[in-house]
Every structure is written in structure tokens, then in C-alpha cells.
Amino acid sequence: MIPRLFSILIIGFWLVMTSLLMRAIWFPEHSRLDAVNPGAVVRLVAARGEPSHLDIYEGRKIVGRLNVTPLSPPIPGGTDEVLLHLDGHLELRLPARRLMMSGKLAFNHGGGLTGMDLTLSMRAPKLKLTLKQASGQEIPVARLLLGGTLLFDSSQIKESDAGMESNPTVMLLLGLMGMSPAEFDQVRQAARREADATAVDARQGDFEIEGVEHHGYLLSVLKNGASTFRVYVENTGQILSIETPTSYRLLSEAIAGDQPE
């Protein structure tokens, strides 16, 4: 049986990624940094053509690694999406458990996330979670496999409670989470409302990371005007740091000066 903690992680990650299906909005807020179009920052990262290597920190301890690699440079004046490839790993607090991450994210030229094809996996137990969302889809489809057995498929969860109750696998996972179908539907609807209130804000100017001054861009994911994810990008297109609303933060290996221990 899947541990309750991992079940919560699965559903939670799916809902988080659902809430990131955002439209790009240019917020002209008063700030010491100058407002720019979010799409310009995404295109800068893609145009660099080289990967950004980031260590994942929990507190001051390195617990993982993430590599962000542009798949192809954007075409000037083109309408093609910007594709970024992700691969990395995260050491979980569970004994000897490593979560592997890989996949692609697609952005439009306005900086909005339009698609994803992500895989999270563990070797023991042999679990794999896939998240796929094509352009035009409202939410990503999540599938969980244990070995070759399909345990969960979010596309099977219908809008009605009856649809969920007819699926024994879904009911098992909800039971492990201590949630009823009605409660899960409330959480899902809340995630959709958050997606509607989510936007991207981009700024250009000088900022400080680990005591070192940098010139570049700050790309913020905003929910109801409040910042959640903050991505710092050097003017070369290299990702320097990512701050998250969780206990994790990501820091480029290339940053000089005082590094976390």
C-alpha cells in the first residue's frame, strides 16, 4: 500500500502544477526594479543555449540538484513555444529515498506556462508519477504507476462525486489522504480559482544573492498580487536562484562569494 505521505505528495504536486497554469500579466507595480515583459526573460533563458545548474537547499543543506536546459533557441519574430528541459533529483526525508525528476516545460512568448511533460520517480518502491498537459488543456493529467501497474489516473476523476466513487483506485487514494470525494472536489476547484488569480511579473535591475550584487531579472509568480515563486536570472540568461513557498530553495553553483554550507 502506498504510504500516506507519498499519496499526499502525489495529489499535492498535481494540484500545485495545476495552479501554475497561468496567463502572463504585466504588473506595473512600484518597485526599485523596472518592469519588463515576462516573455523577454523566458526568451533570454532560452537564447543562452546552455544549461543552468542549481543545487537544491533545505535550510543550509544541499538535498538535491536541478538542471534547466533550453531545448532550442527561440526564433526571432516567431510564434513557437519556448521549451525548457528539466532533470534532477531530491533526497527525501524518508530513509534512503531519492525522488528523480525529468521532463519539459513549454512557455509562450508572453512568458506563460502552456504545457508540461514531467516525470517523478522512485526506485524503491518503483513508483512513477507523470504529469502531462498539452496546449489548450485546462489542467495536467496525472498518472501514477507502481512497476507496470496503473494506480491512479486523474483523467478518470469526473466532475461529479459519483464519477470518483465509481473508481476504486481513486477512492483508495482519497481514503489514504483522509478525504471524501466532495472534499477533494473542493480542493480541486480552489486550485482552479488560484490558477485564474495567478500571474507572472518581471523586473529588471540590480539585486543581491548571497552577498553578491548581480544585474539581471526577477521573474515572480504572483497569486492575488502576492509573490510565491521568485526566479532570479542573470543578464546572460543564466538562472541564479529560485525561491519557493516551501522549505526548499535553489541556488546556482556558479554564484561566487559566501555559499551556504
pLDDT confidence of residue 220: 86
pLDDT confidence of residue 78: 55
Handedness of CA 188, 106, 209, 216 (dihedral sign): negative
pLDDT confidence of residue 253: 87
Please determine, for residue 29, whether its predicted confidence score (pLDDT) is greater than 50.
no
257 grid coordinates: 562569494
Rg (CA), the chain: 19
Q: Where are the domains of the chain?
A: 4-252
pLDDT confidence of residue 226: 65
> Higher model confidence: residue 17 or residue 229?
229
CA distance 199 to 146: 35
Number of H helices, E strands in the chain: 5, 14
pLDDT confidence of residue 216: 93
Query: What are the pLDDT digits (tens) for 165-195?
Result: 666 666 666 665 566 777 767 666 666 665 5
Query: Quick one: three-class SS letters along 71-117?
Result: CCCCCCCCCCCEEEEEEEEEECCCCCCEEEEEEEEEECCCCCEEEEE
Please determine, for residue 118, whether its predicted confidence score (pLDDT) is greater than 90.
yes
Q: Return the exposure string of 148-180: e unless at least 16 CB atoms fall within 10 Å of the residue's CB, then b.
A: eeebbbbeebeeeeeebeebeebeebbebbebe
